[in-house]
Amino acid sequence: MRKFDLVVVGAGISGGSLVFNLLNQGFQGSILVVDRGDALATGPTAFSAGGFRNLWTTSINQQLCTKGIEVLKRFHEDMGVGCGFHQSGYLLTYYAQSWEKIPQASEIWRRNGVNFEIWTPEQIEARIPGLRCGVDHIDPEVCEFLGFQPIVGGVFGCDCGAFDPSQAAVGYFERACGFVSKPQIELNTEVLAVAFDHARRATGVRLKSVGGAEEDIEAGIVALCSGPWTNNLLKASGLPDSDLMPIVNQKRMLFITDFPDSDPRWQDLPLTIIDQGIYFKCEAGNLMIGKAKHDAPDSLDTTFEPDYYVDEVNLPMQERMPNVATCKLKSGWASLYDTCSADHNAIVGWHEEHPGLLLQVGYSGHGAMESPAVGICLAELILTGKYQTIDCAPLRWSRFREGDLVHEKIVI
């Protein structure tokens, strides 16, 4: 039987960050990375908007993203490969009621060294082409139906922006392969189950290769970086429901359109969030637009729905920005959020009921920006037994049993 010190399930950005950072911190053991995809990063990592921000309401998200931004900013220099890092900012816009909470949030951001500006409606309109903060131009019935109100202000995160998570994932694996104890990467290979011994310790995995051959592998540690497929894998491994994750898998779509006009401001657009959680940014000379379907069922379905763009995204958006009425849908895609239904935060660290089982899952739509920092912290945990750079204990699996949740209020 083949034996590895570490088996990583999932070759997305979180698996890449874990493997690279372990080797970078001096791990000498053998590593096997397994993914059922036919290339690195074929899961949600490849379909992400790649936004990063340090504007959060919880300290752990703020710390992880501040560190993550630091890593991504230096990625090209440190890793020798680019990751499409572009610090074009994040603009969160607010109606009157939620705007009242901004002074309090600002205090926390200031204390944590977050670089941000408060913008007036005039400043917002000057930066975002065609956006009208008031609602006088909207038919009152439509305005009421949509629940639109005047935008009374915005928070601009100066250090925020977007990058390409797939490029970063591939960069992590490429650099990992430059170490003497480089990982063995097996694609087109499915992990059918994690094996556990009588003491509930994870001891290995059962693999199925593309030809259908099955193989048992012995492992010192099994790291799950397996995104939306984690609970299915653990169920297939015989774990009771009480040991699973409170994760629901939800379809999320992104739409690519042309720009409405030739205004040069489109090219340097911050990732902007407006009414009903509609967000948009510049994506290689196009607009990338998203809006969460909040009632999306727990499912692994990724069927793309162009009608959703026409009816639920473009129609409300053109009330706020009449110029986008002419935008043509060029392409788009659907992928999955592994949403932690308990508190919208990742599940990171050892599974307290199963020694040897390491978790980096349930990222709830912020895994691209957080995994560069989490990989550093998990590598420290494996090598030294404790977190050093950032204490990720608030994200432990057992927080659900202990009722010690980490509620994040700014989720998109």
Contact call for residue 367 and ligand FAD (CB under 6 A): yes
CA–CA dist 232, 88 (Å, integer): 38
Of the residues 4, 20, 27, 47, which one makes contact with ligand FAD according to CB under 6 A: 47
- Nearer to ligand FAD by Cβ, of 12 and 129: the residue is 12
CB of 362 to ligand FAD, least distance (A): 9
Give, as ranges, the residues between 277 and 306 that touch ligand FAD (CB under 6 A): none
Min CB(227)–ligand FAD separation in Å? 2
**Residues in contact with 9: Cβ distance below 8 Å, sequence separation at least 6, in sequence order:** 15, 34, 35, 191, 194, 205, 222, 223, 224, 225, 226, 233
- Among positions 42, 115, 123, 318, the unique one binding ligand FAD when judged by CB under 6 A: 42
State the minimum distance, in angstroms, from the CB of residue 14 to ligand FAD: 3
Q: Where are the extended beta strands (E) located within 1-95?
A: 2-9, 31-34, 51-52, 90-94
The residue type of 189 is: T
Closer residue to ligand FAD (CB): 36 or 132 = 36
**DSSP secondary structure string, 116-136?**
EEEE-HHHHHHHSTT---SST
Amino acid of residue 96: A
CB of 318 closer than 8 Å to CB of 328: no
Distance between CA atoms of 251 and 362, rounded to whole angstroms? 14
| 254 token code pair | 């992104």
Binding mask 314-353 for ligand FAD (x = CB under 6 A): ---------------------xxx----------------
Determine which residue in the list 23, 51, 119, 314 makes contact with ligand FAD, applying CB under 6 A. Answer: 51
Given CA atoms 326, 331, 336, 337 in this order, what sign does their dihedral have? negative
Among 254, 377, 382, 392, binds ligand FAD (CB under 6 A): 254
Residues 6+ apart with CB under 8 A from 274: 93, 131, 151, 317, 320, 321
Tokens read off for 46: 């490849």
- The region of 105-113, 127-135, 220-228, 402-410 touching ligand FAD under the rule CB under 6 A is 220-228
Closest C-alpha among 60, 29, 4 to residue 366: 60
Longest dimension (CA), the chain: 71
Give residues 141-200 in contact with ligand FAD (rule: CB under 6 A).
165, 190-191
Is there binding between residue 368 and ligand FAD (CB under 6 A)? yes
Hey, is 407 helix, strand or coil?
coil
Q: Which of 369, 390, 395, 406 binds ligand FAD (CB under 6 A)?
A: 369
CA distance 254 to 63: 27
How far apart, in whole angstroms, are the C-alpha atoms of residue 362 and residue 348?
Answer: 9
Q: Does 20 bind ligand FAD (CB under 6 A)?
A: no
- Binding residue (CB under 6 A) for ligand FAD from 21, 33, 43, 75: 43
Q: Which of 7, 8, 13, 382 binds ligand FAD (CB under 6 A)?
A: 13
Cα–Cα distances in Å, from 177 out to 2, 76, 167, 328? 20, 17, 15, 42
How far apart (Å, rounded) are the C-alpha atoms in residues 32 and 3?
9
Stretch that binds ligand FAD, among 35-43, 71-79, 144-152, 257-265 (CB under 6 A): 35-43
Work out the angle at residue 130's Cα, subtended by the Cα atoms of residues 125 and 136, and round it to the nearest 5 degrees.
80
Min CB(187)–ligand FAD separation in Å = 9
Closest to ligand FAD by CB, 41 or 152: 41
**Partners of 339 in the β-ladder:** 248
Return the bridge partners of 361, or none: 347
Comparing CB distances to ligand FAD, the nearer of 82 and 134 is 82
Q: Is 129 in the site for ligand FAD (CB under 6 A)?
A: no
Smallest gap from Cβ 144 to ligand FAD, in A, equals 30
Q: Are strands 90-94 and 271-273 parallel, antiparallel or unpaired?
A: parallel
Quick one: which of 8, 22, 45, 390 contacts ligand FAD (CB under 6 A)? 45
Closer to ligand FAD by Cβ: residue 165 or 270: 165
Of the pair 141, 307, the CB lying nearest ligand FAD is at 307
44 near ligand FAD (CB under 6 A): yes
Q: Which listed residue (21, 48, 93, 314) binds ligand FAD by CB under 6 A?
A: 48
Minimum CB separation of residue 150 from ligand FAD in Å reads 27
**Closest approach of Cβ 4 to ligand FAD, in Å?**
15
Chain positions contacting ligand FAD, by CB under 6 A: 9-15, 34-37, 42-45, 47-51, 165, 190-191, 225-227, 229, 233, 252, 254, 335-337, 363, 365-369
